[in-house]
Structure 1
Amino acid sequence: MEAASQEAHLRHVEKDVLIPKMVREKARVLCSDKVEDFTKCCQENGFLMVVKCRAENAALKECLTGHYRDSTLYEECKQEYLKEREEFRRTGIPSKKRQQKVPSSM
C-alpha cells in the first residue's frame, strides 16, 4: 500500500490517540534528563516543590512541548505504528505479545 492510502485509512483513534501516545512516550525518553531533574527536585522538596521546582518544571515542559510539536517525530511514530498495525493484521499477534519471550519448556 502507498503511504497516502495508508494514511487515508487511519481511524480517528489512531491519529488522535494512539500515535500521539507513541510521540509522548518517545518525548519522555528524549527529555529523560529533564524528567530526572524535575523528579529529583520534587523528591527533595516535598510540598514546597510547587514553589522550588518551577525552573525544572518549565525546562521539562519546554522540552516535551518541543517534541510534541515536532512533525518529524510524529511522522516517525506514525510509520512505526503503521508497521505494527500491518504486522498485527498479518499475524494476529499484538506487538506486546511478540516482544515477550516464549518459554522454551512448558
Structure 2
Amino acid sequence: MALDPADQHLRHVEKDVLIPKIMREKARERCSEHVQDFTKCCQDSGILMVVKCRKENSALKDCLTAHHKDPAFYEECKAEYLREREEFRRTGIPNKKRLQKLSSSM
C-alpha cells in the first residue's frame, strides 16, 4: 500500500516526539549487544559501575548516536510511523491494541 504524498505532512509532536520514540526503540534493538554488555557490567560492578563500565557505556552511546544521526534510519522510522498512522486512521484501532488482539486470537 503506497502512502499518499499529500498525507505525509507531520505535526510538530510527530516529528519531535513520536518518530524519535520509534528511533530510540529500534536503535535499542539494533544495539542490543551493547545494551546487554553495559547491563551486565553494571550488574557485576555495583556502585563502582560509573568507573568500571565506561568502555561499555561509551560503546553503547556510540552505537545509539550513530543510528540517531543516520538520515536513512530517520526516513525508515518515519515511513514506519506513517504506515502505523494510516492504519490507525483506517481502522481506528491503535497499533498496540491491534497487536494485542492479533496475539490473543492465535
Q: What's the TM-score, normalizing by structure 1?
A: 0.90
Give yes or no for the alignment of 1:6 onto 2:39: no
Identity of aligned residues (%): 70
* SS of corresponding position for 1:41: helix
Q: What's the TM-score, normalizing by structure 2?
A: 0.90
C-alpha RMSD of matched pairs (Å): 1.3
* SS of corresponding position for 2:101: coil
**Alignment-derived partner of residue 55 in structure 1:** 55
**Alignment-derived partner of residue 89 in structure 1:** 89
**Alignment-derived partner of residue 17 in structure 1:** 17
- Distance in 1 (alpha carbons) for counterparts of 2:7 and 2:58: 37
Q: Which runs of 4+ in 1 moved over 2 A?
A: 101-104
Query: 5+ residue gaps in structure 1?
Result: none
- Distance in 2 (alpha carbons) for counterparts of 1:101 and 1:82: 21
The Cα offsets for residues 68-106 of structure 1, whole Å up to 9 and x where unpaired, read as 1111111011011101111111111101111113656xx
Offset at residue 61 of structure 1 (A): 0.4
**Alignment-derived partner of residue 46 in structure 2:** 46
The Cα offsets for residues 38-67 of structure 1, whole Å up to 9 and x where unpaired, read as 000000000000000000000000000000
